[in-house]
A = this chain, B = another copy of it.
Amino acid sequence: MKIAVLGTGGVGATIGSKLVELGHQVKMGSRSATHEKGLAWTKAAGPNASLGTFEDAASFGELAFNCTSGLGSVSALEAAVAGLSGKVVIDVANPLDFSKGFPPTLFTGNTDSLGEQAQRALPNSKVVKALNHVTASLMTDAKRVAGGDHDALICGNDAGAKAEVTKILKEWFGWQSVIDLGDIGQARGTESYLALWVRLYGALGTADFNLKIMR
């Protein structure tokens, strides 16, 4: 499958590399088609990895991951809007503001969310919020924590897109449990959880954890 990975940071590189490993063709999207970190990633990831602008990657992919930093997400998606039309966009970004150090604050939440902003920026795409509540290495390898015995939380407006993302999480990334919270507005919940995540990270001394909802 041809897949766009928007963003050249650690999350984009981790997801992009996993997708290449799984046999997919991945084009990483960046503000610049000659972005240094992006080029370094393509070199490391091999012949099925390439780099382009956000627009290039969006047009290339049959599916896209939004792995841009939260503060840059909306402008990146606006640049990619034409290429992403009609496609499923898995939004793993978080509205984190590190400008005052650690722990970061959230620059949106409570009455809006980055997931909703992404869906508004891409009115003809099917945005599914997913995986934003775990560290990058766990996103694509759920089994690295507790043998995979924990929950993925997703939300989005399109039932078919959520079914597709659930399949991807289970079949490609080893997730065993995917909880659908409802429409994209529920991203307010999964993004606000980051305020707890960063504190659990501080208290536990590791990013290798996730929540399991015990009933």
Q: Which residues of A contact B (CB under 8 A)?
A: 103, 105-106, 109-111, 145-146, 149-150, 153, 179-182, 186, 188-190, 192-193, 195-200, 202-204, 206, 208-215
Contact = CB atoms under 8 A, between A and B. Distances in A.
27 contacts: A103-B189, A105-B110, A105-B111, A106-B192, A109-B110, A145-B214, A146-B214, A146-B215, A149-B214, A150-B214, A153-B196, A179-B203, A181-B199, A181-B200, A181-B202, A182-B199, A189-B195, A189-B196, A189-B198, A190-B199, A192-B192, A192-B193, A192-B195, A193-B196, A204-B215, A209-B213, A212-B214
B200 A208 contact: no
| Residue picked from A105, A145, A149, A215, most chain B C-beta under 10 Å | A215
A105 B127 CA distance: 23
Consensus secondary structure, chain A interface? mixed
B146 A109 contact: no
B188 A195 contact: yes
Contacts of A103: 189
Number of copies: 2
A106 to B, nearest CB: 6
A84 to B, nearest CB: 26
Contacts of A192: 106, 109, 192-193, 195-196
A208 B214 CA distance: 9
A202 B182 contact: yes
Contacts of A202: 181-182
Given A179-B203, A186-B199, A200-B213, 12 more contacts: A109-B192, A145-B214, A146-B215, A182-B202, A189-B199, A189-B200, A190-B199, A192-B193, A206-B215, A208-B215, A211-B211, A211-B214
Contacts of A196: 153, 189-190, 192-193
A207 to B, nearest CB: 10
A186 B110 CA distance: 18
Contacts of A153: 196
Nearest to A202: B182
A176 to B, nearest CB: 11
